[in-house]
Amino acid sequence: MECHSLLRTDKEFAELYQRRADLVYRLCFIYLKNPVDVEDAVQSVFLKLIKAPMAFNDLEHEKAWLTVTTRNYCKDILKSWWTSRRVALETLPDIVSWNGEEPSGKVITKLLSLPEKYKTVLYLYYFEEYTVKEIAEMLERKESTIQTQLSRGRKRLKIDLGGNYFE
Protein backbone atom coordinates (compact mmCIF):
# COMPACT_ATOMS: atom_id res chain seq x y z
CA MET A 1 0.00 0.00 0.00
CA GLU A 2 1.48 3.28 -1.12
CA CYS A 3 1.22 6.21 1.26
CA HIS A 4 1.12 9.76 -0.12
CA SER A 5 1.78 12.21 2.64
CA LEU A 6 0.02 15.51 2.14
CA LEU A 7 1.89 17.10 5.00
CA ARG A 8 4.23 19.85 4.01
CA THR A 9 7.68 20.22 5.44
CA ASP A 10 8.53 23.37 7.36
CA LYS A 11 10.61 24.57 4.44
CA GLU A 12 7.76 24.02 1.94
CA PHE A 13 5.31 25.82 4.18
CA ALA A 14 7.73 28.72 4.72
CA GLU A 15 8.15 29.09 0.95
CA LEU A 16 4.40 28.98 0.43
CA TYR A 17 3.92 31.57 3.18
CA GLN A 18 6.52 33.87 1.62
CA ARG A 19 4.82 33.52 -1.76
CA ARG A 20 1.24 34.16 -0.62
CA ALA A 21 1.24 36.09 2.68
CA ASP A 22 0.96 39.44 0.90
CA LEU A 23 -1.99 38.26 -1.20
CA VAL A 24 -3.85 36.94 1.85
CA TYR A 25 -3.09 40.10 3.85
CA ARG A 26 -4.41 42.41 1.12
CA LEU A 27 -7.57 40.37 0.65
CA CYS A 28 -8.22 40.36 4.38
CA PHE A 29 -7.66 44.12 4.54
CA ILE A 30 -10.24 44.72 1.82
CA TYR A 31 -12.87 42.88 3.84
CA LEU A 32 -11.94 43.67 7.42
CA LYS A 33 -10.31 47.14 7.13
CA ASN A 34 -8.62 46.79 10.51
CA PRO A 35 -4.94 45.80 10.75
CA VAL A 36 -5.42 43.84 13.98
CA ASP A 37 -8.33 41.81 12.61
CA VAL A 38 -6.41 41.35 9.36
CA GLU A 39 -3.38 39.88 11.13
CA ASP A 40 -5.62 37.46 13.02
CA ALA A 41 -7.36 36.48 9.79
CA VAL A 42 -4.07 35.89 7.96
CA GLN A 43 -2.93 33.64 10.78
CA SER A 44 -6.20 31.72 10.73
CA VAL A 45 -6.12 31.23 6.95
CA PHE A 46 -2.62 29.79 7.09
CA LEU A 47 -3.63 27.56 10.01
CA LYS A 48 -6.44 26.23 7.81
CA LEU A 49 -3.84 25.56 5.15
CA ILE A 50 -1.67 23.63 7.60
CA LYS A 51 -4.65 21.54 8.68
CA ALA A 52 -6.01 21.04 5.15
CA PRO A 53 -5.15 17.57 3.92
CA MET A 54 -4.74 18.55 0.29
CA ALA A 55 -2.08 18.94 -2.35
CA PHE A 56 -2.18 21.70 -4.94
CA ASN A 57 -1.95 20.87 -8.63
CA ASP A 58 0.07 23.99 -9.41
CA LEU A 59 0.73 27.53 -8.19
CA GLU A 60 -2.53 28.86 -9.66
CA HIS A 61 -4.50 26.21 -7.78
CA GLU A 62 -2.70 27.23 -4.59
CA LYS A 63 -3.45 30.93 -5.22
CA ALA A 64 -7.10 30.25 -6.02
CA TRP A 65 -7.54 28.06 -2.91
CA LEU A 66 -6.04 30.74 -0.68
CA THR A 67 -8.17 33.46 -2.33
CA VAL A 68 -11.42 31.57 -1.84
CA THR A 69 -10.52 30.43 1.68
CA THR A 70 -9.56 33.98 2.66
CA ARG A 71 -12.77 35.41 1.22
CA ASN A 72 -14.92 32.84 3.00
CA TYR A 73 -13.09 33.29 6.29
CA CYS A 74 -13.45 37.08 6.17
CA LYS A 75 -17.15 36.79 5.32
CA ASP A 76 -17.62 34.48 8.30
CA ILE A 77 -15.86 37.00 10.52
CA LEU A 78 -18.06 39.83 9.23
CA LYS A 79 -21.20 37.76 9.93
CA SER A 80 -20.08 36.77 13.41
CA TRP A 81 -21.84 37.90 16.56
CA TRP A 82 -18.78 39.83 17.73
CA THR A 83 -18.47 41.85 14.54
CA SER A 84 -22.14 42.58 14.10
CA ARG A 85 -22.66 43.84 17.65
CA ARG A 86 -19.57 45.86 18.43
CA VAL A 87 -19.50 49.63 18.21
CA ALA A 88 -17.55 51.36 15.46
CA LEU A 89 -14.64 53.50 16.56
CA GLU A 90 -16.03 56.48 14.66
CA THR A 91 -18.98 56.65 17.04
CA LEU A 92 -16.80 56.93 20.14
CA PRO A 93 -16.11 60.48 21.45
CA ASP A 94 -12.31 60.26 21.62
CA ILE A 95 -10.79 58.21 18.90
CA VAL A 96 -7.33 56.91 19.57
CA SER A 97 -5.56 56.78 16.23
CA TRP A 98 -3.76 53.62 15.33
CA ASN A 99 -0.10 53.75 14.39
CA GLY A 100 -0.63 56.21 11.54
CA GLU A 101 -0.67 53.63 8.77
CA GLU A 102 -3.47 54.82 6.54
CA PRO A 103 -4.30 52.97 3.36
CA SER A 104 -2.14 54.60 0.75
CA GLY A 105 -3.74 56.45 -2.11
CA LYS A 106 -7.06 57.97 -2.77
CA VAL A 107 -8.09 55.17 -5.14
CA ILE A 108 -7.61 52.35 -2.64
CA THR A 109 -9.48 54.33 0.03
CA LYS A 110 -12.42 54.84 -2.30
CA LEU A 111 -12.23 51.23 -3.46
CA LEU A 112 -12.51 50.05 0.13
CA SER A 113 -15.62 52.16 0.63
CA LEU A 114 -17.51 50.45 -2.22
CA PRO A 115 -20.05 47.69 -1.49
CA GLU A 116 -18.46 44.24 -1.11
CA LYS A 117 -19.62 42.87 -4.46
CA TYR A 118 -17.91 45.71 -6.36
CA LYS A 119 -14.71 46.03 -4.36
CA THR A 120 -13.95 42.31 -4.43
CA VAL A 121 -14.40 42.06 -8.18
CA LEU A 122 -12.43 45.26 -8.87
CA TYR A 123 -9.64 44.17 -6.55
CA LEU A 124 -9.32 40.71 -8.07
CA TYR A 125 -9.40 42.13 -11.61
CA TYR A 126 -7.06 45.12 -11.23
CA PHE A 127 -4.77 44.22 -8.34
CA GLU A 128 -4.51 40.41 -8.65
CA GLU A 129 -4.93 40.45 -12.45
CA TYR A 130 -7.45 37.62 -12.65
CA THR A 131 -9.55 37.36 -15.79
CA VAL A 132 -13.32 37.71 -15.72
CA LYS A 133 -13.64 33.96 -16.26
CA GLU A 134 -11.32 33.15 -13.34
CA ILE A 135 -13.14 35.57 -11.03
CA ALA A 136 -16.49 34.04 -12.05
CA GLU A 137 -15.20 30.57 -11.15
CA MET A 138 -13.75 31.70 -7.82
CA LEU A 139 -16.83 33.60 -6.73
CA GLU A 140 -19.24 31.07 -8.28
CA ARG A 141 -21.02 33.70 -10.32
CA LYS A 142 -21.74 34.02 -14.04
CA GLU A 143 -19.19 35.83 -16.21
CA SER A 144 -21.88 38.30 -17.25
CA THR A 145 -22.52 39.09 -13.59
CA ILE A 146 -18.81 39.75 -13.04
CA GLN A 147 -18.68 42.01 -16.11
CA THR A 148 -21.72 43.95 -14.88
CA GLN A 149 -20.22 44.31 -11.40
CA LEU A 150 -16.92 45.48 -12.90
CA SER A 151 -18.73 48.07 -15.01
CA ARG A 152 -20.91 49.32 -12.16
CA GLY A 153 -17.97 49.30 -9.75
CA ARG A 154 -15.88 51.37 -12.17
CA LYS A 155 -18.73 53.88 -12.55
CA ARG A 156 -19.20 54.21 -8.79
CA LEU A 157 -15.46 54.54 -8.26
CA LYS A 158 -15.25 57.16 -10.99
CA ILE A 159 -18.05 59.18 -9.39
CA ASP A 160 -16.43 58.84 -5.95
CA LEU A 161 -13.09 60.02 -7.33
CA GLY A 162 -14.59 63.02 -9.07
CA GLY A 163 -14.59 61.65 -12.61
CA ASN A 164 -10.88 62.12 -13.37
CA TYR A 165 -9.77 58.47 -13.15
CA PHE A 166 -10.03 55.69 -15.78
CA GLU A 167 -10.06 58.28 -18.57
d(CA 47, CA 43): 6
pLDDT per position as a tens digit, 23-36? 999 999 999 888 98
- Collect all residues with Cβ–Cβ distance below 8 Å to 130 and sequence separation of at least 6: 124, 138
Q: What are the start and end residues of each CATH 1.10.10.10 domain in the chain? A: 100-166
pLDDT per position as a tens digit, 1-29? 333 345 678 888 899 999 999 999 999 99
The domain 100-166 is placed in CATH, from the list 1.20.120.1150, 3.90.480.10, 1.10.10.10, 1.20.1440.230, at 1.10.10.10
Q: In the predicted model, what is the mean pLDDT of residues 152-167? A: 75
The domain 1-96 is placed in CATH, from the list 1.20.1300.10, 1.10.1740.10, 3.30.465.10, 1.10.3720.10, at 1.10.1740.10
pTM to 2 decimals?
Answer: 0.56
> Above pLDDT 70, what percent of the chain?
80
pLDDT per position as a tens digit, 120-143? 888 888 888 888 998 898 888 899
